[in-house]
């Protein structure tokens, strides 16, 4: 009897887990595997092109490059995942290489991307910013200038970032290569986004893929 109860309970747990997974739907996927993919992106700042299955910026002078694409983001829960190679930074610029993605963007041509969240990786720091008006405000930062810590990265390295955003709670949870980097709450969360935007700072970087899932 106990064994049967255990099996029933296990089936229920697995059923719930499967239902949660089934409700999560892929709403965006880009592997940058053809030149035609570039046509879906608007380049505002930077020298962006597609090569070898990656969206690459080679502008090493601009401090805020910008290439954006349309995507409605209004689900209760959104999951973003991308892989980026930090190829090289500008000599003498100790914060480089530096690159990231703005999510929940409502004004993509502005430097701040309007209301948005920027998930940002520098050589020595990992940061989360929020776009507000014409500026970006730091919500979270980790790392030091003295030496590489777990928050930093090595030039030439490739990393996978995964962001879980709960629009109702205002929670942002960020993983890098499967390791938790930050979990924060925005008391005034961005409620709707219309674009995604790639960003670099005096860095050559290659974005290898980008995926977004949504669930209500």
pLDDT digits (tens, 9 = 90+) for 115-155: 999 999 999 999 999 998 889 999 999 987 655 567 999 99
Q: Report the chain's terminal Cα–Cα distance, integer Å.
A: 37
- pLDDT at position 144 is 72
pLDDT of 9 above 70: no
Who's near 35: CB < 8 A, 6+ residues apart? 50
Cα–Cα–Cα angle for 69, 47, 211, nearest 5°?
35
Q: What is the DSSP string of the chain?
A: -HHHHHHHHHHHHHHHHHHHHHH-EEEEEE---SGGGGGGSEEEES-EEE-SSSEEE---S-SS-EEEEEEEE-SSEEEEEEEEEEEEE-TT-TT-S-EEEEEEES-TTSTT-SSEEEEEE-SSEEEEEEEETTEEEEEEEEE-SSS--TT---TT-EEEEEEEEETTTTEEEEEETTEEEEEEE-SS----EEEEEEEESSEEEEEEEEEEEEE-
Least confident of 24-38, 50-64, 147-161, 169-183: 147-161
Least confident of 10-24, 154-168, 179-193: 10-24
- pLDDT at position 8 is 36
pLDDT of 188 above 80: yes
- Sequence length of the chain is 216
Are the C-beta atoms of 81 and 208 separated by less than 8 Å? no
Give the C-alpha separation, 131 to 117, whole Å.
6
Average of per-residue pLDDT values in the chain: 89
pLDDT of 12 above 50: no
pLDDT of 4 above 60: no
User: In this predicted model, what pLDDT tens digit does every residue of 155-173 receive, in sequence order?
Assistant: 999 999 999 999 999 999 9
pLDDT of 15 above 70: no
pLDDT of 34 above 60: yes
pLDDT of 204 above 60: yes
Give the C-alpha separation, 168 to 215, whole Å.
12
pLDDT of 32 above 50: yes
- pLDDT at position 111 is 92
- CB atoms under 10 Å from CB of 191, counted, come to 13
Who's near 22: CB < 8 A, 6+ residues apart? none
| pTM > 0.75 | yes
| Greatest mean pLDDT range, 32-36, 46-50, 93-97, 147-151 | 46-50
């Amino acid at each position: 009897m106990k064994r049967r109860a255990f099996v029933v309970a296990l089936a229920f747990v697995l059923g719930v887990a499967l239902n949660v997974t089934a409700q999560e739907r892929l709403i965006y996927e880009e592997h940058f595997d053809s030149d035609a993919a570039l046509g879906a992106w608007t380049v505002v700042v930077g020298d962006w092109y597609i090569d070898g299955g990656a969206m690459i910026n080679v502008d090493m002078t601009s401090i805020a490059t910008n290439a954006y694409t349309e995507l409605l983001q209004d689900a209760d829960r959104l999951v973003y995942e991308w892989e980026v190679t930090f190829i090289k930074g500008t000599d003498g610029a100790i914060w480089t290489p530096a690159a990231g993605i703005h999510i929940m963007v409502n004004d993509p041509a502005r430097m701040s991307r309007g209301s948005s969240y920027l998930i940002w990786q520098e050589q020595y720091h990992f940061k989360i910013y929020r776009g507000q008006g014409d500026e970006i405000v730091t919500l979270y930062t980790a790392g030091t200038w003295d030496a590489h810590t777990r928050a930093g990265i090595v030039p030439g390295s490739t990393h996978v970032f995964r962001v879980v955003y709960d629009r109702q709670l205002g929670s942002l949870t960020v993983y890098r290569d499967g390791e938790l980097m930050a979990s924060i709450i925005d008391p005034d969360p961005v409620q709707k986004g219309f674009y995604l935007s790639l960003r670099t700072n005096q860095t050559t970087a290659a974005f290898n893929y980008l995926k977004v899932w949504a669930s209500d």
